[in-house]
Structure 1
Amino acid sequence: MEFLDTTTVRFVFAVVAVTLLGLFYFVTFQRTRSIYSAWWCVALALFLTGSAAYLLDGTAHQVWANPTGNALLVLGVASVWASARTLRARPAPVWQLLAGPAVTLLVSALDSPATNDWSGGPVFLAFMCLLLALASVELWGIKRSSSRVTKSLALAAGLLAAYYLGRWLVFLAEGPDGPTFTTYFDSAITTLITLVLLVVVSFSMAALSNEQVTHDLHLRATRDGLTGLLNRSGFADLALNELNRIRANGTPGALVLADLDHFKAVNDTHGHAAGDGVLQAFADICVATVRSTDLVGRHGGEEFVILLPGADSNRAEAIVNQLSARFARATFAEGFEPPTVSYGIAAINSESTDLAAVLATADAALYEAKSLGRNRAVQGPTGRK
């Protein structure tokens, strides 16, 4: 059909991409400053410039414009994949982002780009399919309150990946001039499909950018900036839910307060940077030792708190002994030995409804551990020493 000629559709695509880029940058990115929205702005800019490069096909500039357009579009899809990874706090390595575009550019430049409109076509289509599929997988794996949005985006990326897979297979089977390819997979049809998806997806991207900002703010409000553990208020909120669950199920539990012995001496002797390294090392060991269902928080200063649902006091004491053993093997750049750790353990049962009371019991046990010479665990009044 005449209105589907490739040049016209690509021009329309460029206009829409410019509009979306402007709206997304000034309305979404400038307000949220989220990493996700930044990557999406990069992707839109690459889609725009890549499509614009194709407008030079049939001119003397095709020799460089065609390979450049291929590489820019692959890099644009790589940016979509990178944006999806930021929602799972998994930044994409630079070499993985650039490998596909670099290979596409090289192959396209060697495939007679001055006369071949489809120079590097098989490699270009393969990378487009692969990176869209990877973006779909990343989006599908996100577990957030906006799962409906991410699942829809994952489905859209997956369908487009399947479409590019079809393009690639038909291209290999009959070439770009074959009847199936020209009917269902030529550049005009693909650009039109991408245009529709781009408009729909951009609005969902704006919602995800807002959600990422909200999520980041929530993390800042509930997480300790140095160790990444729950802060005091964040721990308290989740611990209250666990206490309610323990009471409802009639299962045991234990709360542990851990304090690094003579921690001030580390700061005074080796500096605050070394002290921060000690706190981070102990935090990492705590997370690596307990279960994913346990709660670990920084209670303040050099004091940490651990909630162990389902564990009695004896099991809690065995766990803190593991913590101390692992921490004792930690090494630091300054060459000093890690400090010892004292622990106070409070048992939790179906009657333990007051978090403050449980903390007070553990704190009293911790005080006793300190008074007995440190580097030990003491169970609260309901247990044994």
Structure 2
Amino acid sequence: MIFDVQTIAVVNALVIFVCGATFIVNTFMRKDDASGRVWSVSYMAGMFTSFSYVVSTLSADAWWATAAGNAGYVLSMAALWSGSRLFNGKSGLLWVALIGSAATAVAALSAGPDGGPWAGAPVTFVGISVFTGLAAAETLRGGMRENPSTRGFTVVLSIASAFFAARFVTILVEGTDGALFTTLFGTVASSLLLIALLIIATVALSILRAERAAPASRRHGSIVAYTGDDVLLHESFIRVSEDWFERANFHDEQLAILHVRLDDLDEMTTAFGVGFSNQVAEGFIVSVRRYGPTLSDIGEDGAGCLLIATPAVDADAALQIAKSIQDGLLDHPVETTPRLRPTASIGVALTDYLGYDVGVLTNAARAASLRASNSGGNRTVLSASSASSGEY
């Protein structure tokens, strides 16, 4: 079967607008988190890209529309990566996506009116390849790695990254009129790949978003459950904490949420294998349960990460809790490798400064532990929103 460019363009536009409209409408209809909003930006950028390319095709004077479409294409892929980082509890780095998009637009505009439909194409291909590759890598970390629904998303992102890298090399070697480029890397091939990416992304991201939002909607109907390591499942932790923090708010009692992140888990997996890193993670959980405060709830938050909800009258009390956990980890090395003493980066969010919304506190603590990890690990960081924020 032979697909002509016009038919593929129509199908491509329909898929973009249907998937985009569905995802964006759901974002506005529900109380969504930051990752969902950034993923919606990806769809809006994709819709803008499709519209821009149509304009550039219909009017020879609208040569600037090619630059707009290229920039939108790169921003769409970059926003997938940024939203994935947010989902995993990292900073979104959306400014990196905006810089990449702007550079793509400049490359196309610099070609001027005579640039044609492939103006700035090499820069566009590099941008898409880089950001889809980064997005694929991000799906293999944190909370996204733990969810089986991301597997297909990882595969299609990896294929897209490799495809556009090959597309970049081909256009440099033989140009846009070459047989190889026209046959394997032309508009038809890239459009079919984009359709597959959009459909799989919509399914995967919708499942991820729904599962993260599910604990709030099932708050009064779900069953509290524990993992095999005797810590609360993430959904159960949120449910228990919301009830606890609601009552603490009424009595004006100060609580804290700590996000405890095992340092260098990915590096241990790479160096010693999954079995070893799993053993370290199990010992990490045992130590946190042992040295964490008695009157607290402990829940999972992805591989090598735990959440602790505990009373804390002030920042000093919360920092002392964090220090006890870190000291306990250092006192108990891995049994099979005594020289290896795992450490943890801890983020602290206090109701005294951030209020009693468990979602806000959890995100703040998660972001703070990431800053502690990026600063070298084995550190404690108070949430940046706290009046006494800082690194310890």
Counterpart CA distance in 2 for 1:254 and 1:182 is 63
**Corresponding residue number in structure 1 for 2:111:** 111
**1:26 paired residue number:** 25
Q: What residue in structure 2 maps to residue 98 of structure 1? A: 98
Whole-angstrom distance in 1 between the partners of 2:347 and 2:162: 44
The CA distance in 2 between the partners of 1:254 and 1:184, in whole Å, is: 58
Q: Give a deviation string over 1:82-135, Cα, whole Å, max 9, x none.
A: 111122101222321211111111111102344421111111100100000000
Matched with 1:277 is 315
179-188 vs 35-44, which moves further: 35-44
Q: Deviations over 1:209-235 (max 9, x none)?
A: 1122247755534669753228xxxxx
**Aligned mates of 2:129, 2:118 — CA distance in 1:** 16
Task: Note if contact 1:77-1:128 (Cα within 8 Å) is conserved in structure 2.
Answer: yes
Q: 1:10 — aligned with what?
A: 9
Q: Per-residue deviation at 1:4?
A: 2.2
**3-state SS, counterpart of residue 176 of structure 1:** coil
Give aligned pairs, total: 275
Q: How does 1:225-374 map to 2 (within 5 A)?
A: 227-229=256-258, 276-291=314-329
CA contact (8 A) 1:28 1:206 kept: no
Post-superposition shift, 1:22?
A: 2.2
Partner of 2:161: 161
Q: Which moved more, 1:81-90 or 1:129-138?
A: 81-90
Contact 1:32 1:209 (C-alpha < 8 Å) held by counterparts: no
CA distance 1:126–1:196, shift in 2 (3 Å) = same
Q: Counterpart of 2:25 in 1: which secondary structure?
A: helix
Provide the residue aligned with 2:309 in structure 1. none
- What is the letter of the counterpart of residue 74 of structure 1? V
Which amino acid in 1 is paired with 2:43? L
1:144-199 C-alpha deviation (Å, 9 max, x unpaired): 68532123211211111111111111111111111100001111221122112211
CA RMSD after TM alignment: 4.1
Which residue of structure 2 lines up, in the alignment, with residue 80 of structure 1? 80
Matched with 1:150 is 150
Summarize the Cα distance change of 1:214–1:155 in structure 2 as closer, same or farther, 3 Å threshold.
same
The alignment's TM-score, normalised by the length of structure 1, stands at: 0.60
Residue aligned with 1:227, SS: strand
The percentage of counterpart residues that share the same residue type is 23
Runs of 4+ in 1 over 6 A off after TM superposition: none
**What is the letter of the counterpart of residue 227 of structure 1?**
A
Report the equivalent of 2:238: 220
Farther off after superposition, 155-164 or 59-68: 59-68
Return the alpha-carbon distance in structure 2 between the equivalents of residues 178 and 165 of structure 1: 17
Larger Rg: 1
Q: Which amino acid aligns with 1:178?
A: G
Amino acid in structure 2 at the alignment position of 1:39: V
Counterpart of 1:179, as a letter, is: A
SS across alignment from 2:90? coil
Deviations 1:23-71 (A, max 9, x none): 2233466235233332222111111111210112242443210111100
- How far residue 254 of structure 1 moved from its aligned partner, in angstroms, is 5.8
Match of 1:140 in 2: 140
- Inter-CA distance 91–222: structure 2 relative to 1 (3 Å threshold): farther
**Which whole-Å CA distance do the structure 1 matches of 2:175 and 2:63 have between them?**
20
Verify the 8 A CA contact 1:11 1:52 in the aligned structure 2.
no
Q: Could you say if the C-alpha distance between residues 133 and 222 of structure 1 is closer, same or farther in structure 2, counting changes exceeding 3 Å?
A: farther
Within 1, Cα distance between the matches of 2:48 and 2:86? 24
Distance in 1 separating the partners of 2:2 and 2:291: 73
- Tell me the equivalent position of 2:43: 44
**Are 1:50 and 1:73, in contact at CA under 8 Å, matched by a contact in 2?**
yes
TM-score, normalising length: structure 2: 0.59
Seen in structure 2, the aligned counterparts of structure 1 residues 96 and 284 have a Cα distance that, compared at 3 Å, is: farther
CA distance in 1, matches of 2:122, 2:325: 46
Whether the 8 Å CA contact 1:43–1:79 is kept in 2: the answer is: yes
CA distance in 1, matches of 2:70, 2:33: 28
SS of aligned partner of 2:256: coil
Helix, strand or coil: the match of 2:201?
helix
Comparing 182-191 and 87-96, the one that deviates more: 87-96
